[in-house]
Structure 1
């Protein structure tokens, strides 16, 4: 079997599951998970089409609901919006290696991320999101491995640059891995390029080794 390389992994092969896409369409996800789903959807034609289909179904269901009377507060809010100044015209699109949903959190370039070293060349940047789940960028040197770990909850990892591999497959730009308490893995960055991922968790990871567990307290992961 020939070794998979980053040049052989141009198409997105790892997608979101139906339950996650439905929750995203319904608007019930915590901010961190909403961010990673929106970022993946912006890169993946398959999941974007599925999300749009669920949006359409939700819209059709709303059309069948009985009409509810608006409160006086609702009317006042609408009138206030009508009186508000017009929003500025959208700015011109610019070339960026950052997917659009993520730009409000880190800016237009991955080069501008303020990284914090975690040891062994691994760096992270924790993103400001609401409670319920946490989001961070991870920068893993080419060929480096993350510590062996499982999960106390759900972890979603989306590749933004480079690639990594574990027992579940090879994940390149746009691919997303969903791991839960049944998954134990050692993600290893592709040797050709540093790997940058967006990782979201709703509970602390469960590391196997003592040193990673000590490191975990400082990394807040």
Structure 2
């Protein structure tokens, strides 16, 4: 599913608002030990973001690249703003930025993805974050994960993913280390259990 179809989507799939947690046997290296938050799922496909993979650039780098401020202005930003998390959201359109955020920030381009979380992919939210007017909780992601019609369902049936209802605290948790294990814990599962089960498949 392309990001552009998310705005037009009205039907909801059973994976909307779910976490996908990669099984140990995941063959696609893009998704090894990945936790994916699914924002849209329908007969047209699925779209979501990896929420536990660091991006090797900083928020300051993004601001300078977008020419929203110069080096001196960036240095003057509060530390919390400079440390705003940037994640590698997935292998599709990796040069494009998206912000997942709490629904206390709304712009014309914001798309609700759950009762409490919205998605904005325009510069107004970046400016708002810089000016201290951004959402209470947010994370920026470069790129996204997308699947064509029936593709994700096939991967799940082939034992590629576990799924469970998403947890907002985990989505916005800045501690990436151990997030995979914390996502599995939502299902009452540990990585060791998965490894042993995979060995007997």
TM-score range, shorter chain: under 0.3
- TM, length-normalised to structure 2: 0.28
- TM, length-normalised to structure 1: 0.26
More helix by share: 1
Instruction: Report which structure shows greater RCO (CA 8 Å, sep ≥6).
Output: 2
